[in-house]
Every structure is written in C-alpha cells, then in structure tokens.
Amino acid sequence: MSARIATVSRDTNETQITVSVNLDGEGRLRCDTGVPFLDHMLDQVARHGMVDLDIDAKGDLHIDDHHTVEDLGITLGQAFHQAIGDKRGIYRYGHAYVPLDEALSRVVIDFSGRPGLYMNVDFTRDTIGRMDTQLFWEFFQGFVNHARVTLHIDNVKGFNAHHQAETIFKAFGRALRMAVAEDPRMVGQMPSTKGSL
C-alpha cells in the first residue's frame, strides 16, 4: 500500500482545526485542543491505534467545549476517510474489549461507507474534569458521519466516569487499528462482495 496519510482543515466562525493522520504511524500524538480531558483521550486513540495524530485546534471555548469537540470529531473523520483510500486490502472490521479496573467497554467498527453510531453508555457523572460527558457522543457522531463508518460503543460496566471514558477511547483505538490494518490475504482486493465500499 502507498502511504496512508491525510491532512484536513476546517475553518468556521466557531472553530479552526487542522488534523493530520498517518494510519501506519507509531502511536504519536501532538495536540492541544484547549480541552485537557479530550487531549488525554486522543492520546489513547493514537497510542492504542498505532496512528500518528497531529492536531491544531482553536475553538470558542469561552462559550463552551461543544463546538471544538464536535468539529474535531468531524475533521478527524474526514482525515481518516481520506487516508484510508478505496479500502482495498484492509481488514475493514475491528473490535476490542478494554478493561480499566472496574470498567469494561466494547467497541466494534466497520469501514462500510455507511455512517451509523450506536452508543450505549450511561456515564456515572455529568462531567470529567470540566468536560461534559454528553460531548463524547457529539465527538463520535462527527467522526462516524465523516469517516463513513458504522460504530458500536458499549460500556459494559463501570462506576468511575474517567475509567468509563478511558476504556471507550482505548477500545476505539484498538478497533481502528484492527480495521485499517493490511490483510495479507486480501492484497488488492475489496473487502466486500459489492466490489466497492
């Protein structure tokens, strides 16, 4: 496969975001979104997904974190969509269970070309640090719509909200890593009976 790298920018009245992604990276992250807990979660995605992420994000944080978190999901999704190309030779599907102490989450992803988010998470707190836990749905919805993937997220158990979120993002990274990996038995082939995704 050729290099699977993409850079995407989004410039609105609410946010100015540039995301670069290397799907065959070393798990490195460079970012400062202004939302510290989101930075911590993106570090999990990079590390466990073995993707390199370079993110410049400025948003209207004086209002709240909503626009920054949502638009980052959108831009990250666009970058993944561009970097993955026509999807020939990839596994396409990825899944992971990840525990952290009492918490356990499952994430399943399909680079199907059909956006769909199915998220079953009851956070035990409304905020983690200063981040509103409702914004995790906004982040993943933006990613799903623009990466054009089907994504199932289930927090199976957990009472510490930080642990709930961290298991979700670690499992998301692991599922991404599996789905975008090159399948040595599918070299040059489309992982679909349709012939395209």
Angle formed by the axes of helices 161-180 and 135-147, nearest 10°: 10
Q: In the structure, what pLDDT confidence band is assigned to residue 59 with cuts at 50, 70 and 90?
A: very high
pLDDT score at 1: 56
* Contact in structure between 56 and 20 (CB atoms under 8 Å): no
Residue 118 CA, distance from chain mean position: 14
Higher pLDDT, 195 or 108: 108
- Please tell me whether residue 72 adopts helix, strand or coil conformation: helix
pLDDT score at 2: 77
Q: In the structure, what pLDDT confidence band is assigned to residue 53 with cuts at 50, 70 and 90?
A: very high
Residue 130 is encoded by which pair of tokens?
């200063």
At residue 159, does pLDDT exceed 90?
yes
User: Which domains, and CATH codes, for the chain?
Assistant: 5-180 (3.30.230.40)
The DSSP bridge partners found for residue 110 are 93, 150
With a pLDDT cut of 70, the percent of the chain lying above it is 99
Q: Cα–Cα distance between 28 and 48 in angstroms, integer?
A: 10
pLDDT in tens, 85-128: 999 999 999 999 999 999 999 999 999 999 999 999 999 999 99
At residue 39, does pLDDT exceed 90?
yes
- Mean pLDDT, residues 61-66: 96
pLDDT in tens, 144-154: 999 999 999 99
Q: Cα–Cα distance between 136 and 179 in angstroms, integer?
A: 21
- 192 vs 65, 78, 182, 183, CA distance in Å? 38, 22, 15, 13
* Contact in structure between 110 and 147 (CB atoms under 8 Å): no
- Mean pLDDT, residues 59-87: 97
With a pLDDT cut of 90, the percent of the chain lying above it is 97
Amino acid in position 107: V
